[in-house]
A and B are shown apart, each in its own frame.
Chain A
Amino acid sequence: MSFIPGQPVSAVVQRIEIHKLYEGDNLILGFSIGGGIDQDPTQNPFSEDKTDKGIYVTRVSKGGPAEVAGLRLGDKIMQVNGWDMTMVTHDQARKKLTKKNEDVVRLLVTRKSLEETVRQSMMQH
């Protein structure tokens, strides 16, 4: 999932639709993110490529809306409601996920296993 400057990035993605849950006054999604272009990518335990400054899922609350929707630990978030997440700061990413007037977020996520699944299914045919 590394990017070559100047080249388009392509990945196999899965659509995940998370419905926010009311927890007191706040709307929450039930996961945590890490990463961002202003963060140190070498500390990301989930990324394959240690120069990848993308946004990754670092924690998924058990039984929370994210887990229910199919988000998994270690997923890399590519888009949130159409907004790109591959070249954003950490805070920008957080903001796009926590908009108060939206109660559904549609993510495009990618993970290693997706690629393998696709490759395998292609090989079978």
Chain B
Amino acid sequence: MEGNQLQRQATHMRRTLFDQGYLDEQFIQLEELQDDANPNFVEEVVRVFYNDSARLIRNIEMAMGKNPMDFGKLDDVMHQFKGSCSGIGAKKVKRECTRFQDYCKEEDPEGCMGAFQAVKQEHATLKGKLDAYFQLTRQC
């Protein structure tokens, strides 16, 4: 029962993540790659993502601190970050990244700063949700 309960909770949580646009089909691809040979594939990939993205976020922050801002570089780093996001299906984060890149193209410092905040926020939110999700699935 409990197991079932947890299972249902996990399923429900997952569904919500999709419904609310936090995740997209790419996440399903990850799930499909998970099998007996790779039982924790999804979680591993997400873990790698959070490690690597933290580094990228730091790079962006440093670059944002420069004055004047090097939009080209910012765009470049953000592009990498976005690539990682798309790899795991982090839909909302990806969207904010695109917004950030748009501001870079327009060379709008305030716009960039605002967009960057949004990126970080979405990034953190998703992390929280995924952590909870994995915790549940581990228990199942």
Partners in one complex: no
Which residues of A come within 8 Å of B, CB atoms? none
Interface residues of B (CB under 8 A from A): none
